[in-house]
Amino acid sequence: MFRLLRQVSVPQLRASWGRTALVVSGVATGVALIVAINIINTSVLVNFRRTIELIAGPAALEVTLGVGEVGFPESTIAVVQEDPDVVAAVPLVRGTIALARDPSDTLQLFGADFMAERDLERYSVRTATTRRDLLRTMENPRSVLVTTSFASAAGVDVGDPVDFSVPDGVVALTIGGLLEPEGLAAALGGQLAVMDLPAAQILLGKVDLIDQIDIVLRQDADVAAVRTRLEKTLPSVLRVVRPVQRGRQYEGVLASFQAMLTGLSTLCLVTGLFIIFNTTSTAAIQRGTSMGRLRLIGAEPARLFRLLMIEALVLGCVGALCGIAIGVPLAWLLSGTITDSMGVIFQLDFSMEHLALQPGQPVLIGIVGVLVSLFASYFAARRLAQLDPLDAARASLPVYLDTQRPRPLLRWWLVLLGCSAVAFFLEDHLKSIAWGNFGSTLWNASVIVVAIPLVQRLSGPLSRLLPHWFGAGGSVAAGSMFRATARTGVTVAAIGLAVAVAILLSSLVLSCRESLRSYFGGFLAADLVVSAVSTEGGWLETPLPDRVGAELTEIDGILSVALGRIVSGQPYGEHRIGLLGLDDASFAPERAPAGWYREGSAEQAGRVIRAGEGASVSVSLSDRFDLHVGDSVELESPTGIVILPIVGVVPDYVSDRGSVILSRRLLVERWEDRTINRAHVMLEPGASLETVRSEITQRLGDRYRLKVLALSELLDYHTALIDRAFAPMNSVQLLIIIVTIAGIFDLLLARILERRRELALWRVIGADDGAVRRSLVVESGTIGAIGTVLGIAVGGVTAWIWIGVHFRQLLGYYVEYHFAFGATLWYVVLVLVTTMLAGYAAAAQATRQSVLQGIQTE
Amino acid sequence: MIEFQSVSKVFGSGPTAVRSVDDLSFRIPKGAFWALMGPSGSGKSTVLHLIAGLTPPSSGSVQVEGVDIARMSSSESAALRRRRVGYVLQTFNLLPFLTAEENVGMPLVLDGVRQREVDTRVQRALEMVNMSHRAAHHPMHLSGGEQQRIAIARALVIEPAIILADEPTGNLDRAGGRAVMDLIQEVNERTQVTVLLVTHDPVFAAYGQRVLRLVDGRLQQDMTLPDKPPALDLGVAG
């Protein structure tokens, strides 16, 4: 077999090196992307767990409110310390601060009892400054420790005063010491600042509040028993958990996003499978004659089949190895984009210290890539091996190899369509992403299956129309396309799927953009929106004190100011949801666009919410937890359980898990949170927007780092964030499109080049080069056009299914469906130009050789 | 050696059925050199296909070296072609990506013969057809006559019991064709290989000891020729 491989396979693979490279790259692209996504997904989780472990240190238990983002009274420490098995109860307050001169440079501020230095060791943080210097400088409550990497990047050193933007405004802090960028500091990407607890509480607007208590127990303590005791002693809204459990809550949230990334990367492997299938089918037709000759001199079908499958195995292995080799650097390249995207979607900071490589996983993915190569090559290998030796001499071998019966395919199409519809129904019903991914795969497969009967159906009308429009060239083009309908169908399907994927992602992005535009430009519309420049990792700006609102109302030209506070870590059962607290003005019935309330009415809901006696819930929360008007929602707050009757169901985008929209007064009263994220400013009639904006900056600019955005700028801000959130998907899409275009180009070129003899004969009877070119461009252009029409239809439906069903389960956001007409137009042009170029390139090659050479072509 | 007993071969069915071979019977002894003649579509090539096990008879029996072809599996008929039957076609049927010597050796490679023996036998086969000097060339660099010599060497390398030659001179000029026929005849005489030649050309048919003429799949004429080589001037006018 090795000799056959060397003598038969190697020369043929070498001769058609472009096609061989396409097979290898088909596997390599898919494997590389899955390996990269897998590494990133693993790294995010490993880093996340490590951060949580470092924060927890030797603590056996943690006390938090929800997932630790909603503060609770400091007095809880004393209660915890009363337990006989508790050795230490260490409080922690944390928040986001930023460099005042560059508010995009944010740091995680930890308020800890670090004077004892125990805490620093607990966080695996090592100071670069000597202990004596550290203790002396830290007597100053304005002292802060930053990492050496941050200090170096910011150009500051110990003793230097630095302006920081904190929730309480801009404050000058002194660099009291430096932290080595290892341990927790490294896990946070060097963006760590540590202060004394009381000072941090003041700066973060959390006076007397803490976010977490880490509990260190006696060595022989029964952790479960202590936990039970504390749960009984502490208010019911507080949770006593092992650190690892808290991590799992986040991991659950991330799982759906990571599943989507894995799904998308798998789509790339599916594309690879399709490319290999096409390429090996094309190669099969080219190699049919050789295989027939081998059969003629005594090669058995089984031996040829083994030979072709070994080829597939070798190429698959090469592709998988290349994929693994490319996957690791690709993970480095994509990690920033993906963690940024996750940050935007989940409002969390996912700084990555290092990539977590688990050798077993790339190997496993590589094996999957090889299996894909074997599966995709199987069909062509079987056909070739079973080729009748006598058919090797047939002039119409390609057509012989291309015979497909339409009826079974139509039946299969209907079966696949039915199964995918059932899968999507189950996804919606069972809230299961797995069913959705399965449904999507079946739906895509159905497109491949239906393309061949579609081409067969079109053969009649197009065989009449093309000659009518393009004369003899059209006639030859139609003849060529429709005598090998299976191959034409496969090419059409490849084009259709590429267009469909492109339309799906474009429509997804457009739908998200438009939904957010109608949210921020409708329900939350304002002439100006004032917020901090820095964000907490995603789109949500860091909090500001609510006195900013009072100061804004004093500015000339401002009619009203409505403040808004978003709490993104509100616990709801085992889940994390969002709270949106808004001032009364926001609940005026006239602010709700028509049809905004999916359940309830703007008038009644506004009245009840303003009175603090009820709340609206987002459509996603309503759907996820089956909550409707008339039900109640129970929320844990620092002052106990808050039960609010639901008076409305509205679209809302503050949290992927759903949100509760309530009066900010209630938030201040029950959550004891006086901070705000945004101030929505309405101007007096005739007031100049620029003048007011400039006045705001002048009056408040020296104390807060603010951005003051007009409505259009705010919408642009969110559009840019959506683009950031979808950036990884765009990268994946680009890869899929590049590989697919290469495959389509190969298919079109191959189907034309193998007809060189026929084209030469056409030239013998008088067709000039122009006629040959026209015919081939018409042929490839027509295939492109059919594929594009199929792609638009499939893309439109796929986008509708994804946005209506799948996307809701994947990311939790409910967005309105908007078809990306503009982008589709570009894809149409791109595909038509690409396919016609392929036809032109093939024509150039066909006409370059002499007529006699063409006739002699075997 | 080769025996046809009431063999018929029908392609298709119903009103469009074509009877390519119709109730044909003959017996070719070992070492004989026979020719099959007849107009296009008379079933000449089908007779060769039946002998090579490329297609089964619709009725009757085809026996090759005492074995009924119809009872052979696909693997057994492949083995027959690999070991006992050398096939030479009008279109040469060489693998374009292999050199002349690799083409010749391919049936042995397929049969799992050790490379050293392959090399020896290939060398011998190439010497028999006087093509040793072109061993390393690819088919595209060989003339039609040379390609056909390589195809014959490929048929000979397995030391066959039978050579089936289907219009081996069809793509060659008169001189080239004669050279190929001389070669086949020489091989037949030297190795006692049985040769069945399909040809349109009476000059080349005259190389055979016996000529069967088929029309519409039936045996129309059976001529035994005198035991002498054909006159050199026979085909010049043609």
Query: Does residue A660 sit within a domain?
Result: yes
User: Are A599 and A691 in the same domain?
Assistant: yes
Task: Report whether B57 contacts B9 (CB < 8 A).
Answer: yes
The region of weakest confidence among A20-24, A214-218, B117-121 is A20-24
Instruction: Give how far B63 is from chain A: nearest CA, Å.
Output: 18
DSSP state of B96: T
In chain B, the N- to C-terminal Cα span, in Å, equals 34
Residue type, B29: P
Out of B75, B96, B107, the one facing A300 most closely (by C-beta) is B75
Residues A489-528: b if buried by 16+ CB within 10 A, e if exposed? bbbbbbbbbbbbbbbbbbbbbbbbbbbbbbbbbebbbbbb
Out of B54, B95, B111, the one facing A390 most closely (by C-beta) is B54
User: Are A745 and A643 in the same domain?
Assistant: no
Q: How far is CA A781 from CA A158, A452, A495, A767, A776, in A?
A: 68, 17, 11, 20, 8
What is the rounded average pLDDT for all residues in chain B?
A: 83
Percent of chain A with pLDDT over 90: 14
- Give the count of domains, chain A: 4
What pLDDT, in 10s, does the model give residues A469-501?
A: 887 778 878 887 887 777 788 788 888 888 888
Q: Which of A372, A401, A430 is the last residue of a domain?
A: A401
H/E run at residue A321: helix A301-346
Q: Which residues of chain A have a CB within 8 Å of the CB of B98?
A: 7-8, 11
pLDDT at residue A212 tops 90: no
Q: Which residues of chain B have a CB within 8 Å of the CB of A7?
A: 98, 102, 106, 109
Q: Does A387 touch chain B (CB under 8 A)?
A: no
**What is the Cα–Cα distance from A167 to B140, expressed in whole angstroms?**
81
What is the rounded average pLDDT for all residues in chain A?
A: 81
Q: Residue A276: which domain range?
A: 1-57+254-401
pLDDT at residue A243 tops 80: no
Which range of A288-292, A517-521, A641-645, A807-811 scores highest in mean pLDDT? It is A641-645
pLDDT at residue A100 tops 70: yes
Percent of chain A with pLDDT over 70: 83
User: Are A360 and A346 in the same domain?
Assistant: yes
Local confidence band at A396 (pLDDT 50, 70, 90 cut-offs): very low
Residue type, A851: V
User: Are A778 and A852 in the same domain?
Assistant: yes
Average pLDDT over residues A61-75: 77
**What is the Cα–Cα distance from A169 to A181, expressed in whole angstroms?**
27
Q: How far is CA A494 from CA A98, A452, A453, A745, in A?
A: 49, 11, 15, 11
Are B81 and A392 inside 8 Å of each other by CB?
no
pLDDT of A858 reads 47
Q: Which of A366, A401, A436 is the last residue of a domain?
A: A401
What pLDDT, in 10s, does the model give residues A246-296?
A: 566 566 666 666 776 676 666 666 666 766 777 776 676 667 777 878 887
Q: How far is CA A132 from CA A185, A195, A659, in A?
A: 21, 17, 49
pLDDT of A666 reads 93
Q: Which residues of chain A have a CB within 8 Å of the CB of B78?
A: 295, 298-301
- Tokens 């796929």, residue located: A798
Task: Report whether B194 contacts B162 (CB < 8 A).
Answer: yes
Local confidence band at A762 (pLDDT 50, 70, 90 cut-offs): low
Percent of chain B with pLDDT over 90: 6
Determine if residue A130 is left, alpha or beta; phi over 0 gives left, psi from -120 to 50 gives alpha, anything else beta: beta
pLDDT of B238 reads 31
Task: Report whether A369 contacts A316 (CB < 8 A).
Answer: yes
Phi, psi of A220, rounded to the nearest 5 degrees: -95, 10
pLDDT of A292 reads 79
**Interface with B, mutate which of A8, A293, A297, A855 (most B CBs under 10 A):** A297
User: Are A732 and A828 in the same domain?
Assistant: yes
**What is the Cα–Cα distance from A559 to B17, expressed in whole angstroms?**
95
* Three-state DSSP state, A463: helix
Residue of chain A whose Cα is closest to the Cα of B107: A297
Phi, psi of B237, rounded to the nearest 5 degrees: -65, -35
Q: How far is CA A724 from CA A431, B104, B238, in A?
A: 27, 63, 81
pLDDT of B237 reads 34
- Tokens 């190699």, residue located: A287
What pLDDT, in 10s, does the model give residues A264-274?
A: 666 666 666 76
Query: Does residue A209 sit within a domain?
Result: yes
Q: Which residues of chain A have a CB within 8 Å of the CB of B106?
A: 7, 294, 297
User: Are A186 and A224 in the same domain?
Assistant: yes
Query: Does residue A249 sit within a domain?
Result: no
Are B106 and A388 inside 8 Å of each other by CB?
no
Q: Does A858 touch chain B (CB under 8 A)?
A: yes
**Interface with A, mutate which of B76, B87, B95, B150 (most A CBs under 10 A):** B95
Q: Does B108 touch chain A (CB under 8 A)?
A: no
What pLDDT, in 10s, does the model give residues A422-449?
A: 988 888 888 777 788 788 878 877 887 8
For B75, other C-beta atoms within 10 Å of its C-beta total 13
Determine if residue A656 is left, alpha or beta; phi over 0 gives left, psi from -120 to 50 gives alpha, anything else beta: alpha
Closest CA to A144 of A97, A108, A182, A177: A177
Which range of A177-181, A750-754, A762-766 scores highest in mean pLDDT? It is A177-181
Local confidence band at B232 (pLDDT 50, 70, 90 cut-offs): very low
Local confidence band at B236 (pLDDT 50, 70, 90 cut-offs): very low
Q: Which residues of chain A have a CB within 8 Å of the CB of B83?
A: 298
Task: Report whether A660 contacts A570 (CB < 8 A).
Answer: yes
**What is the Cα–Cα distance from A404 to A456, expressed in whole angstroms?**
10
H/E run at residue B24: strand B18-28
Average pLDDT over residues A639-662: 89
Q: How far is CA A411 from the centre of its chain?
A: 35
The region of weakest confidence among A148-162, A250-264, A795-809, B166-180 is A250-264
User: Are A506 and A565 in the same domain?
Assistant: no
Residues A70-99: b if buried by 16+ CB within 10 A, e if exposed? bbbbbebbebbeebebbebbbbbbbbbbbb
- Give bridge partners of residue B25 from the DSSP assignment: none
Which range of A514-518, A642-646, A722-726, B84-88 scores highest in mean pLDDT? It is A642-646
Phi, psi of B122, rounded to the nearest 5 degrees: -65, -45
Phi, psi of A236, rounded to the nearest 5 degrees: -65, -20
Are A298 and B82 inside 8 Å of each other by CB?
yes
User: Are A385 and A303 in the same domain?
Assistant: yes
User: Are A667 and A749 in the same domain?
Assistant: no
The arrangement of secondary structure in B2-7+17-96+144-224, i.e. its CATH architecture, is: 3-Layer(aba) Sandwich (3.40)
Spatial CB neighbours of B111, under 8 Å, sequence gap ≥ 6: A298, B82, B83, B158
Between positions 168 and 197 of B, the ones with CB within 8 A of A are none
The region of weakest confidence among A347-351, A593-597, B33-37, B113-117 is A347-351
Q: Which residues of chain B have a CB within 8 Å of the CB of A303?
A: 110
ipTM: 0.70
**What is the Cα–Cα distance from A351 to A47, expressed in whole angstroms?**
8
In chain A, the N- to C-terminal Cα span, in Å, equals 27
Query: Does residue A527 sit within a domain?
Result: no
pLDDT of A104 reads 73
The ranges assigned to domains in chain B are: 2-7+17-96+144-224
User: Are A367 and A232 in the same domain?
Assistant: no
pLDDT of A683 reads 92
Structure tokens at A156: 């500051």
Query: Does residue A224 sit within a domain?
Result: yes
Task: Report whether A575 contacts A636 (CB < 8 A).
Answer: no
pLDDT at residue B202 tops 50: yes
Q: Does B50 touch chain A (CB under 8 A)?
A: no
Q: How many residues does chain B have?
A: 238
pLDDT of A753 reads 62
Query: Does residue A439 sit within a domain?
Result: no
**What is the Cα–Cα distance from A680 to A454, expressed in whole angstroms?**
55
- Tokens 């063999």, residue located: B7
pLDDT at residue A204 tops 80: yes
DSSP letters of A493-537?
HHHHHHHHHHHHHHHHHHHHHHHHHHIIIIIT--SEEEEES-BSS
User: Are A517 and A539 in the same domain?
Assistant: no
Q: How far is CA A94 from CA A68, A397, A526, B46, B78, in A?
A: 9, 73, 31, 89, 79
**What is the Cα–Cα distance from B149 to B129, expressed in whole angstroms?**
6
pLDDT of A537 reads 63
pLDDT of A431 reads 76
Are B110 and A389 inside 8 Å of each other by CB?
no
pLDDT of A736 reads 66
Out of A15, A296, A393, the one facing B97 most closely (by C-beta) is A15
User: Are A598 and A746 in the same domain?
Assistant: no
